[in-house]
Amino acid sequence: MGKKTVFITKYALTKGILERELVMQHDERIVEVVWPGGLNGTARFYEDWHWTKGAAQARAYEMKRRKIAQLKEHIRKMEKKEF
């Protein structure tokens, strides 16, 4: 059996989509991956991971869209402020 790769989107807006080797799948939501510098060289991710790069990219684009909407709303509120 070959190595399985998962795609981490937790840090997609700051570090990009990260590819990591799967160590263990705890259930359908949680995976443990190779993470240099992590506890025992691994890290767990809860729902912030995907089996395919395409799924990870779709999630990252949704995260980007939401962040842009948040920032636009923040700018709108700031522009209305009176001093």
How do residues 15-65 score in pLDDT, each as one tens digit? Answer: 999 999 999 989 889 999 999 887 788 999 999 999 999 999 999 999 999
Q: Which residue has the higher pLDDT, 58 or 3?
A: 58
pLDDT recorded at residue 37: 82
Alpha carbon distance 4, 9 (integer Å)? 17
pLDDT at site 1: 53
Local structure of residue 13 (DSSP, 8 states): T
Q: Where are the domains positioned within the chain?
A: 5-80
Contacts of 57 (CB under 8 A, 6+ apart): 17
Angle at 14 between CA 12 and CA 56, to 5 degrees: 5
Mean pLDDT lowest for which of 1-5, 64-68, 69-73, 76-80? 1-5
pLDDT of residue 40: 82
Q: pTM for this structure? A: 0.84
Non-local (6+) Cβ contacts of 6 within 8 A are 19, 20, 22, 31, 33, 45, 49, 50, 51
